[in-house]
Structure 1
Amino acid sequence: MELRSLGRSGLRVSPLGIGTMAWGRDVKWEEARALVVDFVEAGGNLIDTAPAYGGGVAEKMIGKLFAGGLPREDLVVATKGGFVIRDGKRVMDTSRGAMLADLEQSLRRMNTDHVDLWQVHAWGEAPIEETLSAIDSAVSRGLVRYAGVSNFVGWQLATAATWQKALGNRTPLASVQVEYSLLARRAEVEVIGGAEHHGMGLLAWSALGRGALTGKYRTGIPRDSRAAADHFSWFLEPYLQPRSRAVVDAVAKAAEGLGLTPAQVALLWVRDAPQVASALIGPRNRTQLAELLETDTKRLVAPIVSALDDVSGGPNGHRS
């Protein structure tokens, strides 16, 4: 894969990134290790995780990879702070103390002395200047190389980015991570424009519409799918409604005409969209990953992109 710059920063990331939200529950250790090995061999380097994923299990699995001999320099490790699982409960705390405590625990779990990209998991109740001061502290101590935000809407992104630019000794924000797919295009309203203005790269999570754009749910819910699992059905439910059917059908029709799979078409649309630095994928096995890696040398032609834009919400005003 040809690496891309993350916004205007010096960090280079692969156009596909591995997301680890399902690690530890749906993706067990042996499968996760095989996925990362295949991904790195294909030229990928970005792996995205968070303390909340599996209550820290996903980060521990990354640490096990490094302890098992995977060179640390092979991966750009992106994790988050401000949202954790404590005593089985979800806790959002973006205060300086909580953020730095999250980071220390993440480093310990991942068996590393630094995080390549540390992201504020979501906008919290603490003053944003306090939250961002944790980033500056972590960078100055060498614990973090680059910083970003996650799940921020347009005004939140602009507020954070502007604050960090106000003084020269603050860490500029390199990225914003947000859900973005043919079934979730809200980022085009303000987030993508804000990211472009502030020189931030976009990390698109759930690039396959939480799995709905693979087409596997067109005729029902397979028993072995995430939508059939009690712990994940809520995640798929919003995209299994009738209003999503036209988009899924259009993706499937385009795939048939192009000799691709629906998942590949949906991924290509996101990967090459304006301002996207990397499209995050969450394969559960090597077969799914191999299908997505096959997109490396493929591109969608402009008429197909335009048709998919139209059926999923209208023209993308950020396209040149």
Structure 2
Amino acid sequence: MDYRPLGKSGLKVPVLSFGAGTFGGAGPLFGNWGTSDAIEAGRLVDICLEAGVNLFDTADVYSDGASEEVLGQAIKGKRDAVLISTKTGLPMGDGPNDGGSSRFRLVRAVEDALRRLETDHIDILQLHAFDIATPVEEVLSTLDMLVRAGKVRYVGVSNFSGWQVMKSLAMADRHGWPRYVANQVYYSLVGRDYEWELMPLGQDQGLGALVWSPLGWGRLTGKIRRGAPLPEGSRLHETASFGPPVDEEHLYGVVEALDAVAEETGKTVAQVALNWLLQRPTVSSVIVGARNEEQLRQNLGAVGWNLTAEQVARLDDASAVTAPYPYFPYRRQEGFARLNPPMV
């Protein structure tokens, strides 16, 4: 397993990390992701550690805290060997202070997460969404307090826009508060919006991408084909409305390109899709999920080899879409491109 710096920090993270959204699954979304109990979760954790995957990502909102609880049980006796990443900010109830990033909410959320995880610190705490109702100064000064208290080591964000990240970083620099070093983002061969603004921002400001849903919400597993119905048992039957939309014709074109590269490399479609992400700028770690040991071992097969430059270029071409304004001139017109060359 290779390790990379998490953005502009001294923390090294594995290029693959494990998403614990499948732990303790309950409800219409998370119940379809997976329902691993502590025993099964412990086995998956052991397989990860054997392979060098020591970063485990979760969130308080995953199954209403059950994911954190099961993860905490699964890593008992192994805490010093693992890194825990969790997220907070999305509502955990109907009360006026049950969501957001106010000082009241963040302090309580961290205390609750520490209790569920059965640990005394969180290695990477990420804000799950931007809270427009709370001043950025309040958010960052609270994170500074939590870092100084030793309850949080590093901070990051998820699902922020570029201006929201940049405003926060500028405020952190002004006051000497901890800077965000992680940006947990959706990025896949059928969802390349990250490249238009957030990737250049990450390169410029030192944020490492932690990639969620790298297989396009389950669409790039190799089971979906043009002209064929969704396979029985696919979670897309129940969860497609929760995830990012994908144009079907675009999806089929990407899958056909993946099929060709998979045949050339002797790898699976999913392994090729994951390996493509590992070669993209700013990516620190790709978060993979698994409902069982077989899925996990398949995902672990995405490392230890690399696509050729020609194979990457073919996948790039098959997955390319026109960027929205103001980004498309920088991709299509020579004068713009000379001033702002694309990163990929």
- Name the Cα RMSD after superposition: 2.1
Q: Which residue does 1:156 correspond to in 2? A: 164
CA deviations over 1:190-219 (Å, ceiling 9, x no partner): 101111111111111111111101121223
Task: Tell me, yes or no, if the aligned pair for 1:117 and 1:145 is still in contact at 8 Å.
Answer: yes
User: What amino acid is the match of 1:317?
Assistant: P
CA deviations over 1:35-72 (Å, ceiling 9, x no partner): 111011100111111000010000001111233x3x11
List structure 1 runs of 4+ shifted beyond 4 angstroms.
87-91
Q: Which residue does 1:32 correspond to in 2? A: 41
Task: Tell me, yes or no, if the aligned pair for 1:175 and 1:202 is still in contact at 8 Å.
Answer: yes
Select the residue among 195, 205, 211 that pairs with 2:212: 205
Matches within 5 A, 1:13-92: 13-25=13-25, 26-29=34-37, 30-67=39-76, 69=77, 71-86=78-93, 92=99
* Aligned counterparts of 1:221 and 1:275: Cα–Cα separation in 2: 33
Task: Give 3-state SS (helix, strand or coil) of 2:210's partner.
Answer: strand
Q: Does 1:317 pair with 2:338? A: no
* Aligned counterparts of 1:299 and 1:237: Cα–Cα separation in 2: 27
Deviation of the 1:145 alpha carbon:
0.6
Deviation of the 1:162 alpha carbon:
1.7
- Pair member with larger Rg: 2
Task: Give 3-state SS (helix, strand or coil) of 2:301's partner.
Answer: helix
- 1:73 and 1:183, CA in 2 relative to 1: closer, same or farther beyond 3 A? same
* Aligned counterparts of 1:66 and 1:194: Cα–Cα separation in 2: 34
CA deviations over 1:246-305 (Å, ceiling 9, x no partner): 112211221112211000000001122101000011111111111111222111111111
Deviation of the 1:239 alpha carbon:
3.4
Unaligned runs of 5+ in 2: 26-33, 322-330, 332-340
Select the residue among 217, 223, 229 that pairs with 1:216: 223
Matches within 5 A, 1:166-205: 166-168=174-176, 170-205=177-212
Q: Does 1:129 pair with 2:137? A: yes
* Aligned counterparts of 2:311 and 2:96: Cα–Cα separation in 1: 44
CA deviations over 1:7-27 (Å, ceiling 9, x no partner): 120111100011122321223
User: What amino acid is the match of 1:264?
Assistant: Q
Task: Tell me, yes or no, if the aligned pair for 1:55 and 1:84 is still in contact at 8 Å.
Answer: no
- TM-score of the pair, normalised by structure 2: 0.86
- Greater CA drift, 309-318 or 148-157: 309-318
- TM-score of the pair, normalised by structure 1: 0.92
* Aligned counterparts of 1:86 and 1:32: Cα–Cα separation in 2: 26
Task: Give 3-state SS (helix, strand or coil) of 2:231's partner.
Answer: coil
Deviation of the 1:31 alpha carbon:
2.8
User: What amino acid is the match of 1:61?
Assistant: V
Unaligned runs of 5+ in 1: none
- Greater CA drift, 234-243 or 76-85: 234-243
Task: Tell me, yes or no, if the aligned pair for 2:23 and 2:66 is still in contact at 8 Å.
Answer: yes
User: What amino acid is the match of 2:152?
Assistant: V
Q: Does 1:97 pair with 2:122? A: no
Task: Tell me, yes or no, if the aligned pair for 2:42 and 2:75 is still in contact at 8 Å.
Answer: no
Task: Tell me, yes or no, if the aligned pair for 2:188 and 2:277 is still in contact at 8 Å.
Answer: yes
Task: Give 3-state SS (helix, strand or coil) of 2:300's partner.
Answer: helix
User: What amino acid is the match of 1:173?
Assistant: Y
User: What amino acid is the match of 2:51?
Assistant: A
CA deviations over 1:119-147 (Å, ceiling 9, x no partner): 11111121222222221110010000111
Q: Which residue does 2:30 correspond to in 1? A: none
Q: Does 1:294 pair with 2:319? A: no
- 1:89 and 1:164, CA in 2 relative to 1: closer, same or farther beyond 3 A? closer
Task: Give 3-state SS (helix, strand or coil) of 1:223's partner.
Answer: coil
* Aligned counterparts of 2:243 and 2:107: Cα–Cα separation in 1: 33
Deviation of the 1:220 alpha carbon:
2.1
* Aligned counterparts of 1:288 and 1:88: Cα–Cα separation in 2: 38
Task: Tell me, yes or no, if the aligned pair for 2:85 and 2:126 is still in contact at 8 Å.
Answer: yes
User: What amino acid is the match of 2:145?
Assistant: S
Deviation of the 1:33 alpha carbon:
1.9
Deviation of the 1:238 alpha carbon:
2.3
